[in-house]
Amino acid sequence: MHFKLEYTVREFNLQKEDVFQFDVQGIHPVHVELRAPSEEEQKIGHNSQHAFCTAQVEIEASPKNEKVFEKIENNSIIENEDEWRQKYKNQKDQEIVLPSINEFPNHFRSYLDLINDELSSACRLVVNAVRWRTNTLGPHNPISTRGLFWSRDKEFWHPAPSSLSLRLLIHSSGVYISEDAEADVKEIIISDTQEPVHHELFREAWEQRNGNARSSLITGLSALEVAIKTTISTLIPNTSWLVENIPSPPVSRLLIEYVPKLPAMNTVDGKVLPPPRSIMALIKKAVTIRNQITHIGGKPPDYETLDQILEAIQDTLWLLDYYSGHSWAYNHISESTKHEIKG
């Protein structure tokens, strides 16, 4: 039996001709496609500023589950009192009526849940890898489901039983995936490398900056602290337990005194350099403001200062990623910061 899970990826504006293919090796081989909505899809209401992500897999159904699929095809699912119904036309233009997934046998629900989880994990792996590699910001959880589907021939797709869900659409920015970036994403997927947690945290901080400056600042500094610990654990694996369990020195001290001593996998002109002075000044300011907020209920920074602090933190995250072995990360550091690093 063939299955596909379709997602809308919010704030992920691809060029209309962009179609990217990725293979994810999990419990089963999953093929993932990431693309922009076509002109026809846009005409019927799909936002051009959101991408589509589709994961497909082939998984055999047990005899018990096969019987359920046959009942669906024959429109002979047991009657129930659930008011909500899903209706669609099959390939013969005959109407099929489905109750909520909650009305199906437990073994069938579990079967679809496992498939949905596997396909969802593959989509999230690809989307997170692309956002990380291309330095694409946006919501912490950018994907909303368009549904799970099943097919015997990959020609006609039946919608799988589901429950009602809400979909939120938000304005998005453009995403450019170069050939080098696409190759890097495939390598990230093959190596099963997850997007670092510090980038997820930073995305939360960036998303909150206009509505909750306090939370944005605190989350941004948390992202930086996690990034430093991750970098140390990556470059000196035997220190993982110490890094995770023993209180760390101040962030500024770690960046200035400790990071340059790390056995970095990439260097800047043969050196492991700390963030430049302007970046460190903003980070120190952020720590001071954070301490005032948490200890005496101080005021958050103004929007301009907050943006400067977050941009400084983001440049530092990319520098740490670069030292950790991701050569492409250096390209995401702002030009002014790169110029200052090199002196």
Specify the length of the chain in residues.
343
**Which residues make Cβ contacts (< 8 Å) with residue 32, sequence separation at least 6?**
21, 22, 23, 24, 53, 54, 55, 56, 122, 123, 126
Total domains, the chain: 2
Query: 64 and 143 share a domain?
Result: yes
Q: What is the DSSP track for 116-147?
A: HHHHHHHHHHHHHHHHHHHT----SS-EEEEE
Contact 21, 32 (CB under 8 A): yes
Query: 137 and 270 share a domain?
Result: no
Contact 50, 10 (CB under 8 A): yes
- Residue 329 CB coordination number (10 Å): 21
Q: Which parts of the chain register pLDDT below 70? A: 78-84, 163-174, 241-243, 245-248
The reply to whether 16 falls in a domain is yes
The reply to whether 153 falls in a domain is yes
Query: 239 and 119 share a domain?
Result: no
Query: 113 and 250 share a domain?
Result: no
Q: Which amino acid makes up residue 83? A: E
CA 194 – CA 122 distance, rounded (Å): 11
Beta bridge partners of 299: none
Mean pLDDT rounded to a whole number for the chain: 88
Query: 120 and 14 share a domain?
Result: yes
Query: 17 and 125 share a domain?
Result: yes
Token pair in block for residue 105? 């046998």
The reply to whether 164 falls in a domain is no
Residue 168: predicted pLDDT: 32
Reported as a single tens digit per residue, the pLDDT across 123-157 is 999 999 999 999 998 887 788 888 999 999 999 99
Q: Which amino acid makes up residue 311? A: E
Residue carrying structure tokens 């990319």:
318
Residue 165: predicted pLDDT: 39
The reply to whether 183 falls in a domain is no
Terminus-to-terminus CA distance in the chain, angstroms?
Answer: 60
Query: 73 and 129 share a domain?
Result: yes
The reply to whether 165 falls in a domain is no
Query: 208 and 280 share a domain?
Result: yes
Query: 78 and 154 share a domain?
Result: yes
- Put simply, whether the predicted model's pTM sits higher than 0.75 gets the answer no
Q: Which domain holds residue 296?
A: 196-341
Q: Is 332 helix (H, G, I), strand (E, B) or coil?
A: helix
The reply to whether 182 falls in a domain is no
The reply to whether 170 falls in a domain is no
Pick from 157, 159, 160, 313: nearest CA to 225: 313
Picking from 107, 132, 159, the residue at the C-terminal end of a domain is 159
Residue 166: predicted pLDDT: 33
Query: 148 and 245 share a domain?
Result: no
Residue 85: predicted pLDDT: 73
CA 199 – CA 128 distance, rounded (Å): 10
DSSP one-letter code for 330: G
Query: 137 and 232 share a domain?
Result: no
Pick from 97, 35, 28: nearest CA to 60: 28
For residues 46, 52, 55, 56, the Cα torsion angle rounded to the nearest 10 degrees is: 50
Residue 162: predicted pLDDT: 81
